[in-house]
A and B are shown apart, each in its own frame.
Chain A
Amino acid sequence: MALPNLMLIAVFTYRPLVANIQYSILDWTLGAETARVVGLANYIEFFTSDDASRVLGTTLAFTVFTVGLSMALGLLVALALNTKVRGTTFARSAVFAPFVLSGVGVGLVWMFIFDPGYGALAWILRAGGLASPQWFNDPQLALSMVVIVYVWKNLGYCAVVYLAGLQSLPGDVMEAAALDGAGGIRRFWSISLPLLSPTTFFLLITTILSSLQAFDLIRIMTPLGNGTSTLIYEAYLQAFGAYNRAGYSAAISVILFVILLVVTVVQIRFVEKKVHYS
């Protein structure tokens, strides 16, 4: 009964992990009949060339900013949603909506907004007497732009998860603190936030994992990866971009997988030790 599914998982999820390691020791042009075993040369090339600092730096910057901003803004939105006024259910769904939309479609919409010539943002800046930055040409601006759109698309997920966390906080504790004269801001920092730490940790891990896998927006908004070549995108470009370097791409995928594995192991360890689940 379970066999077809298990076989598919084995062939298309587990086998590639092994295959990546095999390919990663090859000097192999994608599509070529022959390949040459080069040992660790691909890894050595990655870590000794500019690629390491460029790609790892971009990955780090992208991950830190997308995770930090999605979580901080997500928490703010969750606090805004955690009221009794009418319309919160609708607002909750609305905020979550971008998370389920096609990254390709969303990327195109925002490219038009960011367009330095005819975009809405350029118009707003012009109204304030400013010229639009060249979002697509400057590598750092390109990265900022993709981060902004990524955060727009994903913060609703953080907001909904934080909201569920806020709503499961013990009401009597909050009430007691309020009676003791603790103000709203004080209650948030001293009670809500510490009690939310399991939620924060869960979000930290899941958003790090999904940031490391971000592809759609980067591919649509910055096809050449100018300033936005994270590990996953560099692996894609090396194999399926201009170079067709399958071995080198596989080596980058292995590096990415090791990072993902470390994050996952940290998560499992932490969950076992510190966080209690019923």
Chain B
Amino acid sequence: MSAPTPMAVVDMESQAPDAHPPPHPRALSKANLARTLAGGYVPLVLATLMVFLPLAWMVLSSLKTPSEIVTTELKILPEQFYADNYVQATTTVPFGQFFLNSAIVTFVGSGVKVLLAILTAYALVFVRFPFKKAIFVLVLVALMVPPQVSILPNFILVAGMGGKNTLWGIILPGLGTAFGTFLLRQHFLTLPGSLLEAAELDGAGHWRRLWQIVAPVSLPSIATVALVTIVNEWNDYIWPLIITDRPDTMTLPVGLTLLQNSEGNTGSGWGILMAGAVLVIIPVLVVFAMLQRYIVAGLTQGSVAN
């Protein structure tokens, strides 16, 4: 998942889905009902099933006994809820440690990132300083440089600093944020100038103006940036994979790879691996279900051309 390239920022949610009524008013006739079902519900249900079936299969399989998995007859439902896969998944490898590491990396990493994004965006919009435009262009270009091409030089630098197998080594290279800076700058630009004039007359400095006026009125945008950052940090794989090789500092996705190495070659190991996948996927799915409005808007920001 990568941050989309900026083109023009439009809040997706402000586009009312009901803006354009269908050209023909619908009467409740049998023919119309059939058409609604065929044209409306069937594709909708198919699209939803396409997403849910694999995930449901993951959950069901995680609750099956090895003999229910190693069988050529497909059993859809487990005969009983077999929790041993979860026990195995969390004891074969130090899953609790992975979970804690992921939580720390995600919490600290996204906390610092959001803070830096707020500060940088505020400076770029409200503070006067030389070369502002050039600096903004540098931030914008950084948005287009994928972290994947930087892994080798960053590995050599961070490992040289002693960051191998440390949590700070996982967190540090990702802290600079072009995505959050860009999104928040776009939002700050829309704030009316009158909002800050009164505070300026009162003699409030930049620090107070930021935290007492700009940040509070920008909470939805900040929340969007925060959520996208949290999800990205939680799922981040390539960097933690390279910078850690000891279980005590691995994050969940890397730990899952370790579990795959020990269970992947046995048919009966699938149940254990599905339990591991559930533990990685479900937290994000729950957060997404609750806050999907902000996450979808944040991740597709910049996509709508008007």
Does the CB pair B138–A6 fall under 8 Å? yes
Does the CB pair A108–B135 fall under 8 Å? no
Does the CB pair A209–B146 fall under 8 Å? yes
Shortest C-beta distance, B166 to chain A (Å), equals: 16
Query: Which of these binds chain B: A38-46, A49-57, A62-70, A245-253?
Result: A245-253
Q: How far is the CA of A91 from the CA of B44 in the complex (A)?
A: 7
Residue A168, interface by CB 8 Å: yes
Does the CB pair B54–A110 fall under 8 Å? yes
Q: How far is the CA of A153 from the CA of B178 in the complex (A)?
A: 24
Residue B130, interface by CB 8 Å: no
Shortest C-beta distance, A185 to chain B (Å), equals: 12
Residue A256, interface by CB 8 Å: yes
With contact pairs A81-B44, A120-B74, A168-B15 given, residues A102 and B284 touching in the complex (Cβ less than 8 Å): yes
Q: How far is the CA of A157 from the CA of B1 in the complex (A)?
A: 10
Residue B43, interface by CB 8 Å: yes
Does the CB pair B8–A1 fall under 8 Å? no
Does the CB pair B242–A240 fall under 8 Å? yes
Residue B221, interface by CB 8 Å: no
* Residues on the A chain within 8 Å of B111, using CB: none
Q: How far is the CA of A260 from the CA of B274 in the complex (A)?
A: 35
* Residues on the A chain within 8 Å of B50, using CB: 95, 152
Shortest C-beta distance, B213 to chain A (Å), equals: 16
Does the CB pair B149–A253 fall under 8 Å? yes
Q: How far is the CA of A266 from the CA of B150 in the complex (A)?
A: 22
Query: Which of these binds chain A: B119-127, B186-194, B196-204?
Result: B119-127
Shortest C-beta distance, B217 to chain A (Å), equals: 19
* Residues on the B chain within 8 Å of A250, using CB: 152-153
Residue B170, interface by CB 8 Å: no
Residue A199, interface by CB 8 Å: yes
* Residues on the A chain within 8 Å of B156, using CB: 19, 246
* Residues on the B chain within 8 Å of A117, using CB: 70, 267
Q: How far is the CA of A108 from the CA of B277 in the complex (A)?
A: 7
Residue A160, interface by CB 8 Å: yes
Residue B117, interface by CB 8 Å: yes
Interface flags for B47-72 (1: CB within 8 Å of A; 0: not) read 11011101101100100000001111
Of residues B1, B267, B295, which shows the largest number of chain A Cβ atoms within 10 Å of its Cβ? B1
* Residues on the B chain within 8 Å of A2, using CB: 119-120, 123-124, 135
Interface flags for B8-32 (1: CB within 8 Å of A; 0: not) read 1000100101111111100000000
Shortest C-beta distance, A9 to chain B (Å), equals: 4
Shortest C-beta distance, B59 to chain A (Å), equals: 10
Q: How far is the CA of A12 from the CA of B21 in the complex (A)?
A: 49
Q: How far is the CA of A90 from the CA of B178 in the complex (A)?
A: 31
Residue A135, interface by CB 8 Å: no
Does the CB pair B150–A16 fall under 8 Å? yes
Instruction: Please name the residue on chain A nearest to B180 by beta carbon.
Output: A5
With contact pairs A100-B288, A108-B276, A278-B8 given, residues A1 and B127 touching in the complex (Cβ less than 8 Å): yes
Give the contacts of A1-45 with B (CB-CB under 8 A). 1-2, 4-17, 19-20, 23
Q: How far is the CA of A56 from the CA of B124 in the complex (A)?
A: 40
Does the CB pair A16–B154 fall under 8 Å? yes
Does the CB pair A202–B51 fall under 8 Å? no
With contact pairs A84-B22, A105-B281, A215-B148 given, residues A1 and B206 touching in the complex (Cβ less than 8 Å): yes
Shortest C-beta distance, A104 to chain B (Å), equals: 4
Shortest C-beta distance, A275 to chain B (Å), equals: 6
* Residues on the B chain within 8 Å of A134, using CB: none
Give the contacts of B265-291 with A (CB-CB under 8 A). 267, 270, 273-274, 276-277, 280-281, 284-285, 288-289
* Residues on the B chain within 8 Å of A85, using CB: 36, 40-41, 44
* Residues on the B chain within 8 Å of A167, using CB: 15, 17, 19-20
Instruction: Please name the residue on chain B nearest to A1 by beta carbon.
Output: B123
Q: How far is the CA of A260 from the CA of B153 in the complex (A)?
A: 18
* Residues on the A chain within 8 Å of B144, using CB: 209, 260, 264
Does the CB pair B148–A93 fall under 8 Å? no
* Residues on the A chain within 8 Å of B214, using CB: none
Residue A205, interface by CB 8 Å: yes
Does the CB pair B70–A17 fall under 8 Å? no
* Residues on the B chain within 8 Å of A104, using CB: 235, 237, 253, 256-257, 280
Residue B5, interface by CB 8 Å: yes
17 contacts between A and B (CB under 8 A): A1-B206, A9-B138, A15-B153, A23-B152, A84-B22, A93-B292, A100-B231, A105-B276, A108-B276, A152-B50, A164-B15, A164-B303, A165-B304, A202-B303, A220-B260, A250-B153, A264-B144
Given contacts A94-B48, A108-B276, 12 further A-B contacts (CB under 8 A): A7-B176, A85-B41, A91-B47, A93-B289, A93-B292, A104-B257, A105-B256, A112-B273, A120-B57, A215-B238, A232-B149, A275-B7
- B: residues with CB less than 8 A from A are 1-2, 4-5, 7-8, 12, 15, 17-24, 36, 39-41, 43-44, 46-48, 50-52, 54-55, 57-58, 61, 69-74, 116-117, 119-120, 122-124, 127, 135, 138-139, 142, 144-157, 172-178, 181, 206, 231, 234-235, 237-238, 241-242, 252-253, 256-257, 260, 267, 270, 273-274, 276-277, 280-281, 284-285, 288-289, 292, 295-296, 299-300, 303-306
The 7 closest A-B pairs by CB, nearest first: A8-B176, A80-B43, A171-B20, A16-B150, A19-B153, A16-B153, A85-B40
